[in-house]
Amino acid sequence: MSVIEPVSYLFANREEPLLTRYYAQEALTVMATTLNRTNVLETLYECISDDKYLYDQFCDRLDSGLVPFISMINGVSKLEYPLPQSHVFSVKTDTAHR
């Protein structure tokens, strides 16, 4: 579980490249759904406690089921992401599409 904290900081840090933050967001989502959700959310909250709105958005995403999944295409397993790569919850909506 020690990987959650650094990934949480990558997700919340606005100075990181957008793609880095996107993959951090997706990794946190996978960890929260496959590992211990409570531990992941507690660690995430501690890392971004100054941004309650971001935390709430992330929790809403988990509750809505927008979670990466593995799909089988032509006999090949592929990880599918439910959100476009330009979508990061810690980016304001108006700048996410630039």
Which two three-digit tokens encode residue 12? Answer: 């919340």
Q: In sequence order, what are the residues at sequence separation of 6 or more whose Cβ sits closer than 8 angstroms to the Cβ of residue 14? A: 90, 91
pTM over 0.85: no
**pLDDT classification of 94: cutoffs 50, 70, 90:** very low
Work out how many domains the chain is built from and give that number. Answer: 1
Residue 57: inside a domain, yes or no? yes
Residue 71: inside a domain, yes or no? yes
Give me the domain span that covers residue 43. Answer: 4-80
Residue 18 exposed, middle or buried by CB count within 10 Å (0-12, 13-18, 19+): middle
Angstrom distance (rounded) from CA 48 to CA 8:
8
Residue 87: inside a domain, yes or no? no
pLDDT at 92: 53
* 46: three-class secondary structure by DSSP: helix
**pLDDT classification of 93: cutoffs 50, 70, 90:** very low
Residue 31: inside a domain, yes or no? yes
pLDDT at 6: 93
pLDDT at 85: 80
What are the pLDDT digits (tens) for 37-90?
998 999 899 988 788 888 898 999 889 888 888 788 788 888 888 888 888 876
Residue 36: inside a domain, yes or no? yes
pLDDT at 90: 67
Residue 64 exposed, middle or buried by CB count within 10 Å (0-12, 13-18, 19+): exposed
Find the Cα–Cα–Cα–Cα dihedral 50, 8, 31, 61, rounded to 10°.
Answer: 50
pLDDT at 96: 43
Residue 88: inside a domain, yes or no? no
